[in-house]
Amino acid sequence: LIPVGGQPAELDRLADTLDSLFHYEPAVSRVVLVDDFRGRFDVSAHVPPGLRDRTVVLANPRDGRGNGWGPGLAVGMLHGLGWIAANTDDGFVLKIDTDTLVIGPFARAVAERFAADPAIGLLGTYSRTPNRSLDKPEDLASAPAFRKLAKWATVWRRTSGSQWPHLQCPLFRRDRVVRRAIRAAADNGLPPGRHCQGGGYAVSRSALAAAAVGGWLCHPLAWLWTPCPEDGVVAVCVAAAGYRGADFNADGEPFGVQHVGLPDTPERLVARGFGIVHSVRDPNWPEAATREFFRHRRRAAAPTQGST
């Protein structure tokens, strides 16, 4: 599951990210792209020809409304997860961004971790980062918004979709949908704002199915006016369905994922055994050079048989 939109450069990033994905995990059954370009570009034309029969392009239902990299992205990801729940039966969903690269096999490790603890529905960078010196704080930046949205009634001076004040109360369907999800997640133990970092995380099939059956994926547009980030909203829906998140980002584990930049040099990311890294848009290394480093490794190696 990959969102794509914004600037035309995202299309080149998408092509390289897909190349990295299928090099290391050629058995991926389906790629779902959530298109936020609103018809300005043909996203499918930038998918490598051999992969187009396994690729589905869905329009982001926000249709240009709201903040595209916050709640607008949440709308697109819930829409994509809902489609996957209804149309596939694969073991898990990997969500990545276009500034994420796959640098090694990961599927078997993720599947085995979900199988080992069925209560886990979300894997990635959850409470600790790959750089343990940069562990996430207990009170995350988005926590105040989730706490406010859980209230029965309150006032927002402005929202993502409007500059006008908004009275939040359960008489409005969108407020009711959001509040129910957040309160259900809290009842199941999710701290406000806790999430797997959105550059790369996995959702188990059982958690996805439970979220769909519970109705937590049915109203993605209800989140459009909120200030909530995509990864926080997905964590809420997984927790509301009764599943918990967990870290899977130590050395030798798949997710070398953090919020800004890469957690180590490209060479050391390989040596540490990560399979998925984010973000190649790093202030310390030029993106083009980072992508070329990993592209050269793929070209120098024989195609992998994947890890499934």
- Residue 1 confidence class, pLDDT cut points 50, 70, 90: very high
Which of 183-187, 250-254, 283-287 has the weakest average pLDDT? 283-287
Residue 140, pLDDT score: 75
CA nearest neighbour of 195 among 252, 125, 98: 125
Burial track 157-193 (b if 16+ CB lie within 10 A, e otherwise) = eebbbeeeebebeeeeebbebbbbbbbbbbeeebbbb
Q: Check whether 308 has a pLDDT greater than 60.
A: no
Q: Check whether 114 has a pLDDT greater than 90.
A: yes
- Residue 301 confidence class, pLDDT cut points 50, 70, 90: confident
Which of 10-14, 83-87, 137-141, 273-277 has the weakest average pLDDT? 137-141
Q: Which is higher by pLDDT, 145 or 86? A: 86
Range of 159-163, 170-174, 271-275 with top mean pLDDT: 271-275
pLDDT tens-digit map of 25-44: 999 999 999 999 998 999 99
- Residue 160 confidence class, pLDDT cut points 50, 70, 90: low
Residue 307, pLDDT score: 64
Q: How many residues does the chain have?
A: 308
DSSP state, residue 192 = T
Residue 139, pLDDT score: 61
Residue 142, pLDDT score: 85
CB 162 within 8 A of CB 195: no
Q: State the Cα–Cα distance between residues 32 and 93, nearest whole angstrom.
A: 10
Quote the tokens at residue 78.
């819930």
CB 194 within 8 A of CB 109: no
Element (H, E) at 181: helix 173-187
Q: Check whether 111 has a pLDDT greater than 70.
A: yes
Q: How many helices (H) and strands (E) does the chain have?
A: 9, 12
pLDDT tens-digit map of 40-64: 999 999 898 888 999 999 999 999 8
Residue 50, pLDDT score: 85
Q: State the Cα–Cα distance between residues 273 and 250, nearest whole angstrom.
A: 9
Percent of the chain surpassing pLDDT 90 = 77
pLDDT tens-digit map of 78-90: 999 999 999 999 9
- Residue 167 confidence class, pLDDT cut points 50, 70, 90: confident
Residue 153, pLDDT score: 81
Which runs of E-coded beta strand occur in 70-221?
A: 92-96, 100-102, 120-124, 154-156, 166-168, 200-204
